Amino acid sequence: MLDLQTKKELKELLGELGPDTLLLLFSNFTVVILAMVQGWNIIPLLWIYWSQSVIIGFFNWRRIKQLKTFSTKGFKIDGQLVEATEKTKKSTARFFLLHFGLFQISYFIFLMSITETIPTEVILSASVGITLFLFNHFYSYRYNLEKDLATIPNVGTMMFFPYARIIPMHLIIFIGLWVGRGSKTELFFFLLLKTGVDLLMHVVQHVNWKEEKDLKSKKVSSQASKQRMTVKARLKLWFLLGWAAFLILIVITFWVMAEFNRL
């Protein structure tokens, strides 16, 4: 049984996720339903999740540009630690836009090279999914912008996190492409894995794991701070262990599926 203090802290942590978490789940499950009903192959899904990646990158760039007070702890440019200045913020935003943009352009060229004719009804349905992700991430941007302005986020973490957010979910779909177009059961499995990874990375991104990110106006005692950090540290460990077990399960499952398809 959890004690009252732990329950209180867990409730606060869940409150940090915001309603955009439910919107993210709704967007993903809508795509799952559309894909299963219309019998998509993996290609339209790659286009939808590429579009989601572009959307995530754009709003992350906007968040960096909107920062007022931020931290540069551990953040280096050209091997040198930098100060939290307006110049640092602008150069970070420009670098992220250029690097992330080139990454997405390369991905776009790859998708064009493997894409054949896609039925009109699939294109229309995929557009619905992309629109839902656009609305979801716009809402998340507006919701988290208020938190950014009320806290002291690390600009280095903000710049690198979108890669940690999108690479795992695309890896899952790419493995699905490698295994083969497969059955509806396999497609459903890949979609659920992508949804789980998307949700997990969303949680990791939007929970304030470090106490220095707490609201500037919120005064907490040393004892309360230690208790909060204890709960957060415990949850973070669970996330890391769960993520490691999840990756091992994915590798084993895909290996078994690949061997089965060769029979």
What's the token pair of residue 245?
A: 């077990």
Beta partners for residue 71, in sequence order:
154
Q: Decide if 88 contacts 82 (C-beta within 8 A).
A: yes
Percent of the chain with pLDDT over 70: 66
Specify the range with the lowest mean pLDDT, choosing from 70-74, 105-109, 171-175. Answer: 171-175
Nearest to 130 by CA among 32, 55, 76, 72: 55
Structure tokens, 21 = 């978490």
167 pLDDT above the threshold of 50: yes
pLDDT in tens, 38-96: 888 888 888 998 999 999 999 999 989 988 888 888 887 777 788 888 888 889 999 99
Q: What is the reported pLDDT for 211?
A: 43
CB burial class (10 A; 0-12, 13-18, 19+) of residue 235?
Answer: middle
Q: What is the mean pLDDT of the segment spanning 235-255?
A: 66
Residue 125 is predicted with a pLDDT of: 93
Indicate the average pLDDT of the chain: 77
Report pLDDT for 218. Answer: 46
- Residue 125's Cβ-count burial label (10 Å; 0-12, 13-18, 19+) is buried
Residue ranges covered by each domain of the chain: 4-262
Whether pLDDT at 207 is above 50:
yes
Give tens-digit pLDDT for 183-206: 677 677 778 878 877 877 777 766
Which residue did the predictor score with more confidence, 63 or 253? 63
Each residue's pLDDT tens digit, 16-31: 667 778 888 899 999 9
pLDDT band at 97 (very low <50, low <70, confident <90, very high): very high
pLDDT, residue 124, reads 93
